[in-house]
Structure 1
Amino acid sequence: MQRNKQLHEFLLNRAEQLTEEWYESLDKTGSGVYASTDPNVIRNLKAQNFEFHQHLCKIFVMEKEAFFKEFDEWVIEIGRDPEHLNTPTHLIMREFLRVREQYMGFIKEYVDSLSAPPSQELIDVWKYAVIEAIDVVMTRVVEEKTNHLNERIEEQQQTINDLSSPLIDLPEGKALLPLVGDIDSDRASAILENTLEGCTTKKVDHLFIDLSGVYLVDTLVAQQIFQLINGLKLIGVTTTLSGLRPEIAQTAVQLGIDFGGINITSNLAGAISMGTN
């Protein structure tokens, strides 16, 4: 235990040296945070690395569970840091592995400084502890980064879905829903939810749905489009479809979807003309 405390102090006293040596040896020709020339980014990167060393050397004086729990705050910070989010993951992993080699060298330096060297078994325990700790932290950082990026992608996709199904106000309680591009099941669900909510909020009583810009739907999507029409009917909204392409109509027929009671026109101009009569 005493040797562990001494090793902890040895490494802690060299944390700043570890950071400076690491940064000086960085390959700064790549991309992301490690290649930045912004003084503020560099300063923050060094501070993050220094904090990493302050945490890591505690592996020799803390219980493992408490050690990783304390380290997790740093992991979350790095995994969600904008500069690291814009850095290729393989470069982040490369730097963890380089730091691991740094520690192997410092453990050797510590052992060589002792007048009575410890057993090889104890040296191996120290090395394994460092390797395991860095591997776990590296994996957690990559996991946190991936999860955060996936959250951002989902948010962006939701925004795209919202923007790709705009409800356009028309006079006298009417509105237009122009649909363009391929509609997958996620987008179809967003259209269903946003349109029902929008028609209720805007007090729409007649909605024109233009499908002339839709080229591909699957059977699930066709069902959801007609679920939308049925949902609108339940809240008192009359629906007129325009631009219904033959392949979409054929899919609907194959599904046994009933067109009865649905106003259908070949184009949007005809739909609006019908709605104004």
Structure 2
Amino acid sequence: MQISQILISRRAELVDAFYSDYYTKTDEYKLRLNEGETEESICSLSKSSCGMIIDAVTGEKEPDFSTIGRRRFNDKTDIKKIHQHMNEVDKLIITKLIFWKEQEAHLYTDVDIIQFMMETKDILTLIQQSLLEGFMQENRKKVAEQRKEIIQLSTRIIPITETIGVLPIVGSLDDDRGYFMKEKAIESADKLAIDTIVIDFSSAILKDDLATKHMEDMIQSFKLIGLLPILSGMQPRFAQQTIQVGSSISKLDSFGSLEQALRHLGI
């Protein structure tokens, strides 16, 4: 009888042992109880996790560990703990195999156990890689969402009077941020009853030509919706770029500082 078949037939015994002999003694188990999670829920999830690993190493099923990794990221599970639990399941399986062989020597040989251990090691490595891939995919997605949210929050037109607003461009501007900022600024301007907007570049760092292009597009869009754009705090590099490419931005009123621009507008 193959080892995989034995493990499948004794799956319930293995998951029970994992929960009672290992998991209930971990700090994670105690923390979940203290946070109000029921014993039944903890037991069910723990056994389910153990069962999926057994299914994977025996070839009984092929769980989508990449998706599991994404879920574990969202519920803030420490991926190191997942790897630790996998190693404990692996040790449990080997311990049980040795114990069962002592009870029933005809089941398999020591060579069979060693061969299974080698195969299991490769499978667990692939599982860990898949979990990490899903975990990192979700992390990158979350970072992108947070970055977009920060851009949206930082792209705010400040009304100075009923007809004049100021758009401060703060921090580093690359292609992505330039694009999102352009979209958000136009949307924000369209909601305000202003006719003049001062775009202040005093605290901006334009990191590439595409960011500069997005700023130019934004200014042109302001003009299309009936706003008079005025520039302040223009950096020499940005100013030179607009002149070199013959941009219409170079023809706009521009002032060395926001204070000078507002003074020009009578504020």
TM-score, normalization by structure 2: 0.79
Q: What is the Cα deviation at residue 34 of structure 1?
A: 8.0
Determine the C-alpha separation between the residues in 1 that align with 2:42 and 2:75.
10
Distance 1:245 1:135, change over 3 A: closer
Determine the C-alpha separation between the residues in 1 that align with 2:19 and 2:213.
59
Q: What is the Cα deviation at residue 147 of structure 1?
A: 1.6
Aligned residue number for residue 228 of structure 2: 238
- State yes or no: 1:167 paired with 2:157: yes
Distance 1:46 1:116, change over 3 A: same
Aligned residue number for residue 39 of structure 1: 34
Q: Which residue of the other structure, out of 221, 225, 249, is the alignment partner of 2:215? A: 225
The 8 Å contact of residues 69 and 135 in structure 2, kept in 1 or not, is answered as: no
Determine the C-alpha separation between the residues in 2 that align with 1:59 and 1:186.
40
Amino acid at match of 2:75: D
Distance 1:180 1:258, change over 3 A: same
Aligned residue number for residue 52 of structure 1: 49
- State yes or no: 1:100 paired with 2:100: no
SS at 1:178 equivalent: strand
Q: What is the Cα deviation at residue 118 of structure 1?
A: 3.0
Distance 1:205 1:163, change over 3 A: same
SS at 2:159 equivalent: strand
The sequence identity of aligned pairs, in percent, is 19
Q: What is the Cα deviation at residue 167 of structure 1?
A: 1.3
Distance 1:145 1:73, change over 3 A: closer
Alignment of 1:1-277 (within 5 A): 5-23=5-23, 36=31, 39-40=34-35, 47-58=44-55, 63=60, 67-69=61-63, 77-82=71-76, 84=77, 87=78, 89-114=79-104, 116-118=106-108, 123=113, 126-127=116-117, 130-276=120-266
Pairs aligned (count):
265
Q: What is the Cα deviation at residue 62 of structure 1?
A: 6.6
SS at 1:182 equivalent: strand
Distance 1:224 1:59, change over 3 A: closer
Distance 1:156 1:225, change over 3 A: same
State which drifts further: 188-197 or 168-177. 168-177
Determine the C-alpha separation between the residues in 2 that align with 1:193 and 1:123.
61
TM-score, normalization by structure 1: 0.77
Give 5+ residue unaligned stretches, structure 2: none
Distance 1:77 1:220, change over 3 A: closer
The 8 Å contact of residues 204 and 237 in structure 1, kept in 2 or not, is answered as: yes
Q: What is the Cα deviation at residue 212 of structure 1?
A: 1.5
Q: CA RMSD in A?
A: 3.4
State which drifts further: 109-118 or 191-200. 109-118
Determine the C-alpha separation between the residues in 2 that align with 1:7 and 1:259.
72
Distance 1:151 1:59, change over 3 A: closer
The 8 Å contact of residues 59 and 129 in structure 1, kept in 2 or not, is answered as: no
Determine the C-alpha separation between the residues in 1 that align with 2:46 and 2:126.
16
Amino acid at match of 2:94: M
